[in-house]
């Protein structure tokens, strides 16, 4: 569930609080994902809170930090604010190789602040912000569902937004178990097999699941340009094959398009039924845990 939020995190629709006229998901029922606020608006509101909390925390430790603006990040990466998930997928596929080099360091003013520091102060800045692991950001944690690696002000701010890291760890473990139960259901096993056949019919290739496609794209991408770099940063001119990257980017978008089409036909109708059943059981068995979780956007 959490791991499926990448596009929502990268392509947030705005940076404001929840509309007071809009009932919270926890008040209207819906899926567990909805109840926990893992909607576009919920994640947007949570990110705004986290960024503001990070700025306060960093200031208390003697550093400047400018809260990130998700609309600016989206515009820098995609060239269009408020891009829908469908629009993103159509243009950028999974967003693995296709976002390489897009945006600029100016998209994040904190890059300039950090770069202006002395080496010693830069190390202290990284420790204060992330516990010395700059790659462990709120974006990354929501994308992967792994909050255990967060540190510094990022961890403190994220804990405050979600209700605590210990609670998050328990929740994540339970949600992983739920996802495993859904995937293990024989109806889903057959649906995934039908997806594999659909993909083979449309691409001539065999993939176990969508994750296998993403793994392949990631491996090819890293072979071409090396380990992924932050938006706006690319390998030095002449150190990677631009033609090979362009070919991979085209392949990524084409596979994503076919993946989405096959999923809608073969998996989604079945998963809607199975997930509803499993989530009903999950909510009953974990009512106490869910009552302690602070929904995003609240």
Q: What count of other Cβ atoms lies within 10 Å of the Cβ of residue 204?
A: 7
Q: What is the pLDDT of residue 78?
A: 83
pLDDT tier for residue 7 given thresholds of 50, 70 and 90: very low
Q: Look at residue 12 and tell me whether its pLDDT is greater than 70.
A: no
Give the chain's mean pLDDT: 81
Confidence band, pLDDT 50/70/90 cuts, at residue 221: very high
| Residue range 255-268: mean pLDDT, rounded | 97
Tell me, what's the pLDDT at 230?
54
Please give the residue that has the higher pLDDT: either 271 or 75.
271
Q: What is the reported pLDDT for 241?
A: 92
Phi-psi region of 117 (alpha: psi -120 to 50; beta: other; left: phi over 0): beta
Q: How far apart are CA 296 and CA 293, in angstroms?
A: 9
Q: Is the pTM of this model over 0.75?
A: no
pLDDT at residue 177 is higher than 50? yes
292 against 64, higher pLDDT: 64
**Confidence check: pLDDT of 181 > 50:** yes
pLDDT value, residue 267: 97
pLDDT tier, 138 (very low <50, low <70, confident <90, very high otherwise): confident
Q: Please determine, for residue 184, whether its predicted confidence score (pLDDT) is greater than 90.
A: yes
Evaluate if residue 146 carries a pLDDT over 50: yes
Residue 8, pLDDT above cutoff 90: no
3-class DSSP string for the chain: CHHHHHHHHHCCCCCCCCCCCCCCHHHHCCCHHHHCCCCHHHHHHHHHHHHHHHHHHHHHCCCCCCCCCHHHHHHHHHCCCCCCHHHHHHHHCCCCCCCCCCCCHHHCHHHHHHHCCCHHHHHHHHHHHHCCCCCCCHHHHHHHCCCCCCCHHHHHHHHHHHCCHHHHHHHHHHHHHHHHHHHHCHHHHHHHHHHHHHHHHHHCCCCCCHHHHHHHHHHHHHHHHCCCCCCCCCCCCCCCCHHHHHHHHHHHHHHHHHHHHHHHHHHHHHHHHHHHHHHHHHHHHCHHHHHHCCCCCC
- Give tens-digit pLDDT for 73-100: 777 778 887 777 888 899 999 999 998 8
Domain locations along the chain: 2-292
Residue 117 pLDDT > 70, yes or no? yes
Residue of 175 and 230 predicted with greater confidence: 175
- Cα separations in angstroms, 160 against 78, 125, 264, 265, 295: 30, 21, 37, 40, 12
Q: What is the pLDDT of residue 237?
A: 65
Residue-level length of the chain: 298
**Average pLDDT of 19-42?**
56
- Residue 109: the pLDDT is 79
Please state, for a pLDDT cut of 70, what percent of the chain lies above it: 79
Angle at 213 between CA 2 and CA 174, to 5 degrees: 25
């Amino acid at each position: 569930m959490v791991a499926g939020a990448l596009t929502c995190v990268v392509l947030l629709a705005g940076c404001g609080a929840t509309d007071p006229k809009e009932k919270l998901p926890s008040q209207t029922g819906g899926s567990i994902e909805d109840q926990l606020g893992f909607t576009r608006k919920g994640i947007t509101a949570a990110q705004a809170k986290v960024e503001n909390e990070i700025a306060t925390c960093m200031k208390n430790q003697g550093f400047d930090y400018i809260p990130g603006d998700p609309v600016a990040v989206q515009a820098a990466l995609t060239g269009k604010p408020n891009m829908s998930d469908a629009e993103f997928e159509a243009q950028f596929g999974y967003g693995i190789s296709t976002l390489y080099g897009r945006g600029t360091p100016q998209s994040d003013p904190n890059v300039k602040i950090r770069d202006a520091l002395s080496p010693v102060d830069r190390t202290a800045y990284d420790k204060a912000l992330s516990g010395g692991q700059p790659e462990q950001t709120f974006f990354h944690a929501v994308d992967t569902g792994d909050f255990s690696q967060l540190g510094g002000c990022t961890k403190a701010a994220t804990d405050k937004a979600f209700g605590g890291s210990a609670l998050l760890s328990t929740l994540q473990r339970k949600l992983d178990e739920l996802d495993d139960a859904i995937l293990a259901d024989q109806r889903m096993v057959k649906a995934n097999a039908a997806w594999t056949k659909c993909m083979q019919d449309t691409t001539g290739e065999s993939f176990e699941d969508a994750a296998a496609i993403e793994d392949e794209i990631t491996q090819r991408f890293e072979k071409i340009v090396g380990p992924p770099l932050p938006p706006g940063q690319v390998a030095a001119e002449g150190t990677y094959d631009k033609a090979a990257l362009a070919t991979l980017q085209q392949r990524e978008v084409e596979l994503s398009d076919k993946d989405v089409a096959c999923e809608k036909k073969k998996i989604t109708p079945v998963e809607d039924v199975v997930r509803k059943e499993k989530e009903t059981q999950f909510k009953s068995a974990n009512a106490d845990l869910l009552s302690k979780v602070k929904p995003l956007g609240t």
